Structure formats: C-alpha cells, structure tokens
A and B are shown apart, each in its own frame.
Chain A
Amino acid sequence: MLTDGLFILFTVFAVTGAAGLVLFKHPMNGAMSFLVTLISLAGLYALLSAKLIFAIQLMVYAGAIMSFIIFVIMFLNIQEEDLPIEEGRFKYLIGGVIIVAPIGLFLSRVIKSFPGADAIITVEGFGEIKEVGLLLFREWLLRFEIVSILLLVSLVGAVVLAGTRRIAK
C-alpha cells in the first residue's frame, strides 16, 4: 500500500518534472524541474530495492551533473531578453504529442504483454552494495578498471590542461 502510494508519487513527479523541462521558458526553471525528475527517479530505484543505484543516482546525476549545469546557467546569467522568441510552440507541442502518442500506446502494450511481468525477481541481497560490487569485480573487472582509468586520466588531464594554459600566458 505504502509502496504503491510512493510509486504513484514518484512517477507523477518524474513525469511532471520532465514536462516542466520542456515547457518552462527560463533555463533555470527547466533545470530545477529536471532535478525533480532525477530525484524522483532515484526514489523509483529505491522502490525497486536497488540501494546502490539510488545512492549513485542522487550523488552523480542529481548532485554532481545537475549542479554543473545550473552552475553554467548561472555563469551565463541569462536574462529574459536573451531568450529566443518561440512563436507557435504550443502548435509544435500538440503536433509532437499526436506523433508520439501511438508509440507510447504501442510501448505500453508491449510492456503489458511481457511474460511474468508481475513476478517478484528480487533475491536475498539484491541491489545491496556488496552484491553489486562482487558482481562488478567478478564478471566485469576489466571493463570496470578500464572505465575507472579513463575517468582518472580525464581528471588529471583536465588539471594539467588548465594549468599549462595559465603558464603559456
């Protein structure tokens, strides 16, 4: 009962936030409403008992990436007069909805016709940090390490590049 209520709450927030991202005119409003979507997605992950993904969603997407985007929006200091005039955006919106609606209907049919859609597939320790870690380090070790080295190299590269440019001046 509580889970159902939370599920409905999070989905409503997620969809409203995504709609707000498209509909709001000011980029800051769009970014904040997208933030609502990201947080509600984290809530949905938590309901699916994926604890680690919940934390990562909050930390990486809602915390880090969105704060960068908002930081950039703030840096550019966009005023009302800088925004493009969008005439007839509602016409495009309605047209878009009419085009997308059949695809949506089709997708919902597909999902409903999946075999065993109502079965519970979580096993003991599903989505726990330890289990995900074991899986990563047993089955996906090489790929995991390559990605982590890639990230490290990009981090160090960014620092080196930013440093050399200052010296060249």
Chain B
Amino acid sequence: MTLQDIILIIIRVAFGAFVPLCFVAVSVWMERRGASFIQDRSGPNRANILGFRAGGLVQNLADAVKLFFKEDVIPGHIKHKFYFVLAPIIVCVTALVSFAVVPFADTLVLGGKEYLMQAIPTDLGILWFLAIVGFSVYGIILAGWSSHSKYGMLGGLRAAAQTISYEIPMVLAIISLLVVYGTVSLNEMAQFQGQLLFGFIPMWGVLLQPLGVIIFIIAAFAEANRVPFDLAEGESELVAGYHVEYSGLKFTIFFMGEYVAMFASSAIIVTLYFGGYQIPWFNTATLIKYAVPVTLLLMIVTPVAAKFIAAWIRKNNVSHYERENDPRVREANVYIKIVWGTVILLEAILFLYLVFASGGAADNILVACLQVCTFLAKTTCMLFVYVWVRWTLPRFRYDQLQKLGWNVLLPLSLLNIFVTSAIVVALS
C-alpha cells in the first residue's frame, strides 16, 4: 500500500462517516426552517454565539447541549436493559452503514490506479443497502419490546409491520430498475445515467422508470418512518411510540439515527433515479476533456452567485423594527465577508490549478470534487422533499397505510416489472 492508497482510504471512510452526521445538523435545521417557511412563521432564529446566529444553525448546538446534559433515565420497570441500550445504537449504526456503498463521485483514476469513491469499495451496491436496511427493523422492534409499556409496544409493532410490508414494494421497484440498468453496483448505475437519451435528454432513472420512482419514494418514506407514514410515533395516539421511554443521550441517538436514515435514503433515491453524482449533460469523460473551460466558467459564475447571495443576506438579515446600531446588520457584514473570502479562496485554488496543474491527475481530482458537490446538492434537494412532504400531507390511518402498501403499491410494482421487462426485451 502506497501513501496515496492510505490517504484515499481515509478520505473515503471519513466522507462516509462524517458527511451523514454533518447532514443531521443540516436536515434538522432544514426541517425547522422549512416547517416555519411552510407555516408562514420565522422558526428558530434567536440562539446565537456572540450575536452570530448562522440562520438558525446555532439552535442545533443549543439543542445538542440540552440533550447531552439531560438526565439519561432507564426506567425501573425495564428488565432487558441490554436490549434497551442496544436498540438506539442499532438504529443509528445501520443508518450510517447503509450509506457506505453510495458512490459520491465517479471512479477516481490516479496514477494508473482506480478508486471506487465509496466508503466501502464493493460492487454489492443495492444488495448491501437492502441487507442493512433490513437490520434497522431490529432496533425499532427491540426498542418497542424492551420498553415494556403499552405505547412503546404498540409503536414498535406498528413500525415493524410497516417496515416489513413496505420493503416488498421497495424491492420490487428496485427489481424493475435492475432490469433497466443491468447491474446491482450503484456506481455502474450512476455511470449508466450519465448517458443521453435520444442524444439530448439525460438518461436518469426518473425518466426511464416514472412509476418505479413514485413507488420507491413512497416506500422509502415508509421505511424511514416519516410523515405521512409515522404512525409508529403518532403523538395523538401513542405519545411517541417506540421511543417513549427513552431520554437524554439514548433519545439523541434515536433522533440522529432517524435523520441519518433520511439522508441515506435520499442519497439512494438520488443515486438510483436522479443521476447520482452526474452533472446533467456533462458525464465524467466530457468533464475531464473540457476541464479548463469548465474551470473558467466556474471562475466567472462563483463571483456572480456570491454577489446575489450577499445581496440576499443584506436584504434579509436585518431587524424587523427600528434599532440603534442594528446588531443584525453587523452580523450580515461578517457573513458577506465570509462569502467573499470563500470566493477569493476558490478563485485562487482554481487559478493555481489552471496555471500549474491542469492536464494531469489534477483534472480527475477537480472532476471528483465537482461531482461530490453535485451529489450533495442533489441529496439536499431530496432532503427538502422529505421536509416538504412532512409539512404538506396529513398522517395516514393505520389500515389505510397497510392497504396502500399491499393493495396499491404491490400490484403497481408487479405491473411495473412486467411492463419494464417487456420493453427491455422488445428494445434489445
């Protein structure tokens, strides 16, 4: 193993482990601000450090501190303490590990060696994801069962039954996708989606499998126990469902696990149906070929974008009433300086690249960085869809939920398999 191998292993594993955890903060923030945006209010915007509120992100820190210092109670009636403690860990770890096979950039070629840009470089792809998602049920079942109370038990039963029954339409939707792509490896799927349909439309899964994408997204929502399928923690009937007995750090781990699972399933949806890390119309080969023009374009676009962002910050980050020496204006000045500082740094890096490194291995690294950004941007959009749906649709009734799964999604996904296979056979 050379130094390069070791560095790349560290980078990939760190990406696979830390990015989902960082996105917990981002998605909690997005959930709250999104909720308040949809409900026409401001949302959390007061917590600050020395007057800096970072658009409400500091509220997350305050919440984390609160959760860490809460008393961590194990209720006295719980007999199986081991399972009670194990359950949240299973939920969080399975969610983290299921992200490990998602490629966040195309295969990186450095010095004649190929590196799969996944935390676990394997071509098991979607099979690994399905296997690990199946394990997350254990966390919920164990939590509900070991809580040894009616609410916990009912919540656990509901969640387990729901997850098991929605796994079937999900897998059937994936089968028809496998017929289209002809591979289980997520990286090869993303490469497939870099092609163009009829020469001008990006060949994304969402266009090839319009029915499949709907089934998969619905099933993914149900798997992640999100509204409109969060019967397992329906406040009005079950208080908090399977995590009603949890407090302090153990609840935090449940909470994080839920958001990591949301991130992982958004990443999977993006990889399967929305082109993964592919930038539309610019697949990896094209990007490497036109690395210099793309860099020049970036160097022009970033200051323009920064100007708009700065104007937006200036307009919105003010007090809504008359104040002397408005501290929010002072705050906005600092933010704008940070934005311009980032732009200058980026321009400097791109300039150095153009002058010294273009044409060599740096092209590949540049393309990989661009693809990572694309992937994260797409995943963030998908996360917003989760938030959007949560604050738009009301909760299902439990029998309606099971009926939707078995009587609607199952026949539809079978039909989808037959139609897809017929078309694939007819075209080949």
Partner of B406, one of A77, A152, A162: A162
Q: Which of A29-65 contact B (CB under 8 A)?
A: 32, 35, 51-52, 54-56, 58-59, 62-64
Interface pair B184/A67, CB less than 8 Å apart: no
Of the residues B128, B145, B164, B407, contact of A163 by C-beta under 8 Å: B407
B168 touches A155 (CB 8 A): yes
Q: Judge whether A74 and B138 touch: CB under 8 Å.
A: no
- B173 beta carbon closer than 8 Å to chain A: no
Q: At the interface, yes or no: A126 with Cβ under 8 Å from chain B?
A: no
**Interface pair B131/A71, CB less than 8 Å apart:** no
**Is B103 in contact with chain A by the CB < 8 A criterion?**
no
Partner of A77, one of B127, B135, B153, B164: B153
Which of A51, A68, A74, A75 gathers the greatest number of chain B CB atoms within 10 Å?
Answer: A74
A51–B124 CB distance below 8 A: yes
Closest residue on chain A to residue B86 by CB atoms: A32
Q: Is the interface of B mostly helix, strand, loop or mixed?
A: helix
Q: Quote the shortest CB–CB distance from A118 to chain B (angstroms).
A: 28
Q: Is the CB of A74 within 8 A of B157?
A: yes
Chain A: interface residue count, which band?
A: 20 to 34
B135 lies within 8 A of A63 (CB): yes
A15: chain B residues at CB < 8 Å are none
B-side contacts of A77, CB under 8 Å: 153
Contact with A along B293-329 (1 / 0, CB 8 A): 0000000000000000000000000000000000000
B164 to chain A, nearest CB (A): 7
Q: Could you tell me if A70 and B130 are in contact, using CB atoms closer than 8 angstroms?
A: no
In Å, the complex CA distance between A163 and B168 comes to 17
Q: Which residues of A contact B133 (CB under 8 A)?
A: 63
B80: Cβ under 8 A from any A Cβ: yes
Residues of chain A within 8 A of B128, CB atoms compared: 55
- The answer to whether B254 has its CB under 8 Å from any CB of chain A is no
A59 touches B134 (CB 8 A): yes
Residue of B nearest to A66 (CB): B138
Q: Is B92 an interface residue (CB 8 A)?
A: no
| Across-interface contacts of B414 in A (CB, < 8 A) | 152, 156
* A18 interface residue (CB < 8 Å to B): no
Chain B residues with Cβ below 8 Å from A159 are 406-407, 410
Tell me if A8 is interfacial: C-beta within 8 Å of chain B: no
The reply to whether A62 and B134 contact each other, CB–CB distance below 8 Å, is: yes
Is B156 an interface residue when CB atoms closer than 8 A count as contact?
A: yes
Tell me, yes or no, whether B222 is within 8 Å of chain A by CB: no
* A58 surroundings in chain B (CB, below 8 A): 131-132, 134-135
Q: Nearest chain B CB to A132's CB is how many angstroms away?
A: 11
Produce 1/0 per residue, B403-424, CB < 8 A to A: 0001100100010000000000
**Residue of A with least CB distance to B156:** A74
Residues of A within 8 A of B122 (CB): 51
Nearest residue (CB) in B for A52 is B127
| Residue of A whose beta carbon sits closest to that of B134 | A63
> B219 near A: Cβ within 8 Å?
no
